[in-house]
Amino acid sequence: MTVDLLSRQNCSDCPIRHRAVCARCSPEELDQLERLKTYKSFKAGDPILWRGDTLTYVASLVEGVATLGKTMEDGRTQMVGLLLPSDFIGRPGRSEIDFDVVAVTDLTLCCFQRKPFEALIGSTPHIAQRLVEMALDELDVAREWMLLLGRKTAREKIATFINMLVQRQHLSGAENDKRALVLPLTQEQIANYLGLTLETVSRQLSAMKKEGIVQFSDRRHFEVVDFPALHMATGDDSDGGMLV
Amino acid sequence: MTVDLLSRQNCSDCPIRHRAVCARCSPEELDQLERLKTYKSFKAGDPILWRGDTLTYVASLVEGVATLGKTMEDGRTQMVGLLLPSDFIGRPGRSEIDFDVVAVTDLTLCCFQRKPFEALIGSTPHIAQRLVEMALDELDVAREWMLLLGRKTAREKIATFINMLVQRQHLSGAENDKRALVLPLTQEQIANYLGLTLETVSRQLSAMKKEGIVQFSDRRHFEVVDFPALHMATGDDSDGGMLV
DNA sequence: CGGAGTCTTGAAATATGTCAACTCCCGTGG
DNA sequence: CCACGGGAGTTGACATATTTCAAGACTCCG
């Protein structure tokens, strides 16, 4: 982990300004946060927090990708969350963390010491509200994932995963071609996210390439060629989500 | 659904007084809630809310058991939550619900019209705090369940489920013999909770009876005979949780 | 007493996991 | 610059846990 003193930037230029925990802050509130914040960088593969760690700071993910994961004693692991830019680490009123947080790409955090941050929450309803809202969104996502893990087939899981990537990357206002998408995880990581083995992930992805649903330019970059087929494959909607 | 005007009871006598959303309320705050509340009863099998419904009221579960479930278009269903007494229905700032809520036993709700309740939250930090705390607990539970659904074997799932029942029933201060436990769900419902088929649930339960881990007096009542073996079977802990 | 819902048990089918070998990259260090 | 090495991905053959299909037994309630 590196404390990156140089790139200290102004909140108003921040790429996640309008989506992160500070989304609804007024300029004055932003000033207060600005005084508290520190940037930290991690390299791909670095552990950020271990299960059971005491949270000395909380943070917004500014850039990069991280995962939340749980591991059983015999090594089986299940990811329980995927953090993309603007996502938050740390919970109101919680000092401990119940899963591992790992950087999967190089990444930058916008960190706040937990104690002063919590003090600030008391006086800044905009932050408190946003924090609750974000936690509830996570709960919805977790429950949707429970349906996926418990009931979907391998193919449906992969399709749902890709669909989720599409939606989250569009949402975050990817400026470039709508179709150019990043696959931030290795197939092993995808497997851990979907409750599969890496071989099954490979086979299903190969099948979807062969069927012309998705197309890869290289290992980490792809586009969706056939959206109706993709949506159909998620199992979410029998008619493939077509409105017409 | 029946509005049960007769059993309107005093909050101070309420069986879930110290665990529900009102747990930390002062006597004055309780008065305000008392004026707002209405009891409603549902019969086993009654739907309480459908996915997509607008929440016109929020509620605490006083008595009985309910499930939160999601169903796919082809009928596959996955439970995403189990509501026991003191659990809450409805979320701060959310007007819609994204899963079905169904009574699995006869049950009683302590209901509040959503709008006045939300107004009350603004002026009653004790309720707001408790609500957030309960939502975060649900998030933790959901993530623990993701590990179960994605990575555990059928036997581990069953053992974990029973273990969860034990803990939640003890927690709620079951006055009677610590070992007398209620199984509030049919095997089909358990299957939907664990991402299994009802046949698999039956087979695994039979096996655990045969092994002398649990013992049933009738369909709905059992006790755990061999706690170490049960805990061992959950897969959570290689040493069976023995402290010695 | 009947009947429906619940549970049990067996046999067969299958999706996914396991094991293993091989290829393809890509970055590193000589 | 090339060779090397290791991580990542692919693919096949085989194993197996769980599902599926099916039949029957139990039990509770009207």
B231 Cβ partners below 8 Å, 6+ apart?
A: B159, B163, B237, B240, B241
Written as one letter, the residue type at A188 is E
Longest dimension (CA), chain B: 56
B109 and B218 share a domain? no
Say yes or no to pLDDT of A133 above 90: yes
Given an 8 Å threshold on Cβ–Cβ distance, is B136 in contact with A135?
yes
HEC letters along A174-235: CCCCCCCEECCCCHHHHHHHHCCCHHHHHHHHHHHHHCCCEEEEECCEEEECCHHHHHHHHC
Q: What is the mean pLDDT of residues A34-62?
A: 95
Closest by alpha carbon to A48, among A33, A38, A58? Answer: A58
Measured from the Cβ of residue B104, the count of other Cβ atoms closer than 10 Å reads 20
Per the structure, the count of domains in chain B is 2
What is the pLDDT at residue B119?
A: 93
Distance CA A64, CA A89 (A): 14
Distance CA B172, CA A183 (A): 45
Percent of chain A predicted with pLDDT > 70: 91
Given an 8 Å threshold on Cβ–Cβ distance, is A143 in contact with B140?
no
Whether residue B236 lies within 8 A of chain A, CB to CB, comes out as yes
Distance CA B59, CA B101 (A): 12
Q: What is the mean pLDDT of residues A92-103?
A: 94
User: Could you tell me if residue A30 is inside a domain?
Assistant: yes
User: Could you tell me if residue A187 is inside a domain?
Assistant: yes
Percent of chain A predicted with pLDDT > 90: 83
With CA atoms as reference, the chain A residue closest to B192 would be A150
**Unique residue bearing structure tokens 């013999």:** B177
What is the pLDDT at residue A140?
A: 97
What is the pLDDT at residue A95?
A: 93
CA quadruple B99, B100, B105, B111: dihedral sign: positive
**CATH number of A78's domain:** 2.60.120.10
Residue-by-residue DSSP string for B119-176: HHHHH-HHHHHHHHHHHHHHHHHHHHHHHHHHH--HHHHHHHHHHHHHHHHHHTT--S
Last residue of a domain, one of A80, A111, A145: A145
**Residue scoring higher pLDDT (A242 or B227):** B227
What is the pLDDT at residue A242?
A: 53
Backbone angles phi, psi at A60, to 5 degrees: -105, 140
Looking at beta carbons, which residues of chain A come within 8 Å of B139? Answer: 91, 135, 138-139, 142
Q: Which bases on strand C have an atom closer than 7 Å to a protein beta carbon?
A: 5-11, 15-20, 25-26
Whether residue B123 lies within 8 A of chain A, CB to CB, comes out as no
What is the pLDDT at residue B61?
A: 97
Say yes or no to pLDDT of A228 above 70: yes
Q: Return the beta strands (E) in chain B as ranges.
A: 2-3, 38-42, 47-49, 57-63, 66-71, 77-83, 88-89, 100-103, 107-113, 181-182, 214-218, 221-224
A139 and A167 share a domain? no
Of A77, A138, A150, the CB nearest to B149: A150
User: Could you tell me if residue B244 is inside a domain?
Assistant: no
Of B78, B99, B147, the CB nearest to A80: B147
A135 and A15 share a domain? yes
CA of residue B92 relative to chain centroid, distance: 19
B138 and B202 share a domain? no
Given an 8 Å threshold on Cβ–Cβ distance, is A150 in contact with B151?
no
The pLDDT tens digits of the residues spanning B146-187 come to 999 999 999 999 999 999 999 999 877 655 566 789 999 999
Q: Where are the alpha helices (DSSP H) in chain A?
A: 27-36, 114-123, 125-151, 154-171, 187-194, 198-210, 227-234
CA B180 to C1' D26, whole Å: 23
Q: What is the mean pLDDT of residues A173-192?
A: 85
Measured from the Cβ of residue A239, the count of other Cβ atoms closer than 10 Å reads 10
DSSP B54: B
Looking at beta carbons, which residues of chain A come within 8 Å of B73? Answer: 236-238
A88 and A184 share a domain? no
Of A80, A133, A151, the CB nearest to B143: A80
CB contacts < 8 A (A, B): 106
Degrees, nearest 5: CA angle B102-B105-B111: 60
The pLDDT tens digits of the residues spanning A146-168 come to 999 999 999 999 999 999 999 99
- In chain B, positions 204-223, which contact chain A (CB-CB < 8 Å)? none
What is the pLDDT at residue A175?
A: 57
B173 and B219 share a domain? yes
User: Could you tell me if residue B241 is inside a domain?
Assistant: no
User: Could you tell me if residue B139 is inside a domain?
Assistant: yes
Distance CA B206, CA B202 (A): 6
With CA atoms as reference, the chain A residue closest to B235 would be A72
Helix (H) or strand (E) holding A78: strand A77-83
Range of the domain at B50: 5-145
Task: Let me know: does A78 contact A195? Beta carbons within 8 Å.
Answer: yes
A17 and A133 share a domain? yes
Distance CA A224, CA A25 (A): 36
A211: left (phi over 0), alpha (psi -120 to 50) or beta: alpha
B53 and B134 share a domain? yes
Last residue of a domain, one of A118, A145, A172: A145
Say yes or no to pLDDT of A206 above 60: yes
User: Could you tell me if residue A59 is inside a domain?
Assistant: yes
Last residue of a domain, one of B145, B168, B183: B145
CA of residue A51 relative to chain centroid, distance: 18
User: Could you tell me if residue A212 is inside a domain?
Assistant: yes
A135 and A158 share a domain? no
- Residue A6: which pLDDT band, with cuts at 50, 70 and 90? very low
- Residue A47: which pLDDT band, with cuts at 50, 70 and 90? very high
What is the pLDDT at residue B6?
A: 46
**CATH number of B156's domain:** 1.10.10.10
**b (16+ CB within 10 A) / e for A131-162:** bbbbbbebbbbbbbbbbbbbbbebbbbbbbbb
Distance CA A53, CA A67 (A): 16
DSSP B95: -
> What pTM was estimated for this model as a whole?
0.94
What is the pLDDT at residue A194?
A: 98
User: Could you tell me if residue A239 is inside a domain?
Assistant: no
Closest by alpha carbon to A108, among A182, A1, A221, A220? Answer: A1
CA A184 to C1' D4, whole Å: 27
A141 and A156 share a domain? no
Distance CA A208, CA A194 (A): 16
Token couple for B240: 């069976």
pLDDT of chain B along its 244 residues, tens only?
A: 555 544 567 898 999 999 999 999 999 999 999 999 999 999 999 999 999 999 999 999 999 999 999 999 999 999 999 999 999 999 988 999 999 999 999 999 999 999 999 999 988 888 998 999 999 999 999 999 999 999 999 999 999 999 999 999 987 765 556 678 999 999 999 999 999 999 999 999 999 999 999 999 999 999 999 999 999 999 998 665 455 5
B127 and B197 share a domain? no
Say yes or no to pLDDT of A76 above 70: yes
Distance CA B59, CA A130 (A): 23
Distance CA B99, CA B82 (A): 12
B67 and B165 share a domain? no
Strand D neighbours with CB under 7 A?
A 186-188, 198-199, 202-203, 205-206, 219; B 153-155, 195-197, 199-200, 203, 218-219
B126 Cβ partners below 8 Å, 6+ apart?
A: B24, B25, B26, B29
